[in-house]
Structure 1
Amino acid sequence: MPDKQKKKNLPAGTADSQWALFLEWLNQARDSHKDLDTLLEELRELNVALLDEKEQKLRVSYFERTVEQLLQQCFPNLPDADRIKVQLWKGNAYETFGEWDKALAAYQQVLASGGSGEFAALKSEALVWIGHIQLMQSHARDALRAYEQSLELAKQCGDKKAEANAYHGLAYYHFEHGELGKAIAHWEKALEIAEKLNQTELIAKFTTNLGVAANVQGKWEKALAYYGESLSQVERINDWRGLAETYHNMAMTYADANRWAEAGAYYEKSYRLAKKAGDVRLQALVKLNRVELHMAIGDSRVAEALCNQALRAFVQLDDHLGEADAYKFLGMVNTQKHEWNVAKAHFEKSIQLTRRFKNPLCEAEAHFEFGRMWRKKGRPKSAVKQFEKALALFKQVSAEKEIARVKQEIASLG
């Protein structure tokens, strides 16, 4: 029997049969006369549908091989500008898959393309993505430099969409460093530009982030109003990743307001869409934030399992602040189980990471939960010490609801 026939008879789910499906898609693509953007989006969806995050090496390998063959067979004579767009698209796909080193390499190739003044808008976009990854990896100075260079390029070439994205990057930087006023100002500037351009995807993204900022300020109804505006935008354009992010943020706001049923429903929606989009980091974030739901019903076993799954993902991604958040939640689970020494070690690890990578909001949350651990253990002086540290940090980021909550805890121990 010829090798080709053997492969056709392989059971579904084997590596060879999966690759055969990619080859079948390539054959259809070659005869479809569809444009490049449409085919690239089809390929991304196929890659996610056929291979999950447990098959990461296969996912990346098949993705790379299929893109290469697609370009060779269907678009052998692409203009330079389109080739750079493909490189940028590859970087975005790698970022979604959690392959951050490969994403950075793809974006660097965009920056190296053409002369110094050529393809400025594409280079500006690449710099924003470089900044995002560097910020997630806690390389704050490099991230800020990338965002500033992106804004400079966007203004030089007069591309307003690129300018809006650069302001978004700067807002993200200031938000992560607890500079909420600066973050909001940059997101409002980005939103103003996006609305003038009638860019639905950008309007949704920036509106969602203004909702996140409102949530940190404890303005839950305002946050939910922003998310509602964002949903109406992302649903129009079938932006699954954007929809997953918005659902996730809505769930977090409902959880902060102790509205557990709504939180659980939106976390579930977010997780399904994050898997559909192939977003590894968002899946980990949803798992981690669902921990509070299981703790609320006393299911510490599932809560701890979700923490550990998220922690493994963040370590693999080299996402230090995600790792810090996972340790904080592990400390909370161990507190619920009265495993005091283990909880203490986890809180200390979380605080160490948040302090090292300069995230005052996350550090404040870790100190607060550490204080609650000491209170439950019957050590009021140790609890107050942690609450006072949390209070100073929450004041730094103007988290009004959290400030009130910490003051209430301190007063109860007075």
Structure 2
Amino acid sequence: MTIVISDQRKWTEVLRRQKLANAERWLTIMENKKDLSGFILSDYDNLLRALETTLENPDSFTLAYQLIQRLNTVVFGFADWDRWLHYLQQALRTCESLQREEEEAHLLTMIARIFLHQGDLDKAKIYFQKSAAKFKDIGDQVNYGKALGKLSNVYVLQDDLVMSEQLCQEALKIAMASEDSFAIGLAYLDLSHIHLKSQNLHEGLVVARKAHDIFTKLGQSKSGVVALINIVSIQAQAGNWAEAESVSTQLMSILDTTADIKSISQLKNNLGIAAFNQGDYAKAETLWQEALQLNTQVQNPTEMANLYNNLGMVYTKLHEWETAESMLQESAKAYQDLGDVYLWANAQDNLAELFEAKGETAVSRQIVERAISVLETAQKSAHRQKLLANMTVRLKKYNSNAPSTPH
């Protein structure tokens, strides 16, 4: 005897409830996991299927948002940008229809971070501005300040350090007024990004250490890792090799237990800088190539541009001319696409040094003249003016060594 199921919708709903119960089970497991990164990495596809189920209907949005909160910080390090962006945008649409403004503000921030790491700085700026406005509208001063800090990072990447510092100082003021230690730590961390870019290394080290001390006390290990990476970068650029190596060892012991590809790549990049500045070009090349390989998984345009520039410098030192030129051209193009005038000009300066090393000073002169013309018309800042002064000295050297034209 065949049993006919007359109410298909009933059984569909039963199946959906089972899937939602399974999603709740995954959430409970994540809440109790100490090694969350390792767990998510091992069950990634199952967890995403659970999330998809919760996003199907608005009535399960709360569960969907809880899953997103748990997954986001870890999944972000996997660089699964397109798929994760799709889920976040789907959640945002549901959130807007339900008028869940607090969750909407946080989702806007998450989406902005993806655009930031994809190198789409204009979209990142728009979404951070939206999230800041939303937090302000609902009276959430602490997260409003944090959003301003995140927005300041976009301006750092676009080399608008004046606007970046204004936003960052406002974020710090809000954090201090709210007496929120984590927000204060984030503001100090954001300030360290600005000082790194402007080459104010002493000030950068002070605020990076303040940030790290706060994160350590609060047990905020992920933010602590970012602060340590900035400390390594500052120490390496300042020529404090022993300090850079010491902090790097501490960092690597932490990162070895995570799946944070982006942070490992950044650390290798900073160690490469230390090796290069000590004249160990073979070690620098190895570290930067390893970082570049890792970055192919993360696909962060800013990091890629930085690594291409660094590899271009080391291949210049190793007299591998074609490879050096290719790397520096890639770097310059990437920085131009990102709208970073300073780092574009810096890549041009390195390219001029390459052709000078090859004995092609006429080409070097053309490169420097073009870069100087761009820097002279750009908004003035201390770090741009310093680079402009260095390139002007280089141009004078070329002109003084040029053969005189017979009359």
TM-score range relative to shorter protein: 0.7 to 0.9
Contact 2:237 2:274 in 1 (8 A): no
Q: How far 1:171 moved relative to its partner?
A: 1.0
Counterpart in 2 of 1:40?
A: 30
Contact 1:98 1:279 in 2 (8 A): no
Flag the structure with larger Rg. 2
Query: How many residue pairs end up in the alignment?
Result: 365
Contact 2:95 2:101 in 1 (8 A): no
Question: Could you say if the C-alpha distance between residues 98 and 67 of structure 1 is closer, same or farther in structure 2, counting changes exceeding 3 Å?
Answer: closer
**Cα distance in 1, alignment partners of residues 209 and 386 from structure 2:** 22
Counterpart in 2 of 1:161?
A: 142
1:258 is aligned to 2:239: yes
Q: TM-score, normalised by structure 2?
A: 0.79
**Cα distance in 2, alignment partners of residues 254 and 409 from structure 1:** 27
Counterpart in 2 of 1:347?
A: 328
**Cα distance in 2, alignment partners of residues 144 and 279 from structure 1:** 24
Moved more, 285-294 or 266-275: 266-275
**Cα distance in 1, alignment partners of residues 248 and 149 from structure 2:** 25
Runs of at least 5 residues in structure 2 that lack an aligned partner in the other structure: 1-23, 54-58, 401-407
Q: After superposition, what is the alpha-carbon deviation per residue over 1:228-280, rounded to whole angstroms, capped at 9, x for unaligned? A: 22122111012222111111111211222222222232333334334444321
Counterpart in 2 of 1:98?
A: 79
Q: How far 1:172 moved relative to its partner?
A: 1.6
Question: Could you say if the C-alpha distance between residues 368 and 255 of structure 1 is closer, same or farther in structure 2, counting changes exceeding 3 Å?
Answer: farther
**Cα distance in 2, alignment partners of residues 308 and 225 from structure 1:** 30
Contact 2:153 2:193 in 1 (8 A): no
Question: Could you say if the C-alpha distance between residues 383 and 69 of structure 1 is closer, same or farther in structure 2, counting changes exceeding 3 Å?
Answer: closer
**Cα distance in 2, alignment partners of residues 393 and 240 from structure 1:** 39
Moved more, 188-197 or 178-187: 188-197
Letter matched to residue 119 of structure 1: R
Contact 2:37 2:258 in 1 (8 A): no
SS at match of 2:99: coil
Q: After superposition, what is the alpha-carbon deviation per residue over 1:70-122, rounded to whole angstroms, capped at 9, x for unaligned? A: 9x9xxxxx985454133233223210232222332332243133454633122
Counterpart in 2 of 1:174?
A: 155
Counterpart in 1 of 2:342?
A: 361
Question: Could you say if the C-alpha distance between residues 221 and 408 of structure 1 is closer, same or farther in structure 2, counting changes exceeding 3 Å?
Answer: farther
Contact 2:77 2:298 in 1 (8 A): no
Question: Could you say if the C-alpha distance between residues 284 and 167 of structure 1 is closer, same or farther in structure 2, counting changes exceeding 3 Å?
Answer: same
Q: How far 1:175 moved relative to its partner?
A: 1.3
**Cα distance in 1, alignment partners of residues 33 and 367 from structure 2:** 50
> What RMSD, in angstroms, separates the aligned Cα atoms of the two structures?
3.1
Q: 2:229 aligns with which of 230, 237, 248?
A: 248
Contact 1:218 1:402 in 2 (8 A): no
Q: 2:127 aligns with which of 137, 146, 169?
A: 146
**Cα distance in 1, alignment partners of residues 291 and 143 from structure 2:** 33
Question: Could you say if the C-alpha distance between residues 289 and 370 of structure 1 is closer, same or farther in structure 2, counting changes exceeding 3 Å?
Answer: farther
Question: Could you say if the C-alpha distance between residues 217 and 240 of structure 1 is closer, same or farther in structure 2, counting changes exceeding 3 Å?
Answer: same
Q: After superposition, what is the alpha-carbon deviation per residue over 1:19-65, rounded to whole angstroms, capped at 9, x for unaligned? A: xxxxxxxxxx98xxxxx79x6365362443x7xxxxxxxx5451453
Q: After superposition, what is the alpha-carbon deviation per residue over 1:316-359, rounded to whole angstroms, capped at 9, x for unaligned? A: 32322222222112211211111112211111111112212322
Q: 1:268 aligns with which of 249, 254, 259?
A: 249
Contact 2:375 2:388 in 1 (8 A): no
**Cα distance in 1, alignment partners of residues 86 and 50 from structure 2:** 20
Q: 1:130 aligns with which of 105, 111, 114?
A: 111
Contact 1:124 1:154 in 2 (8 A): yes
- The residue correspondences of 1:67-82 to structure 2 (distance < 5 A) are 81=62
Contact 1:128 1:165 in 2 (8 A): no
Q: TM-score, normalised by structure 1?
A: 0.78
Q: How far 1:385 moved relative to its partner?
A: 4.0
Q: How far 1:297 moved relative to its partner?
A: 4.1
Q: How far 1:181 moved relative to its partner?
A: 0.5
SS at match of 1:278: coil
1:325 is aligned to 2:339: no
Counterpart in 2 of 1:236?
A: 217
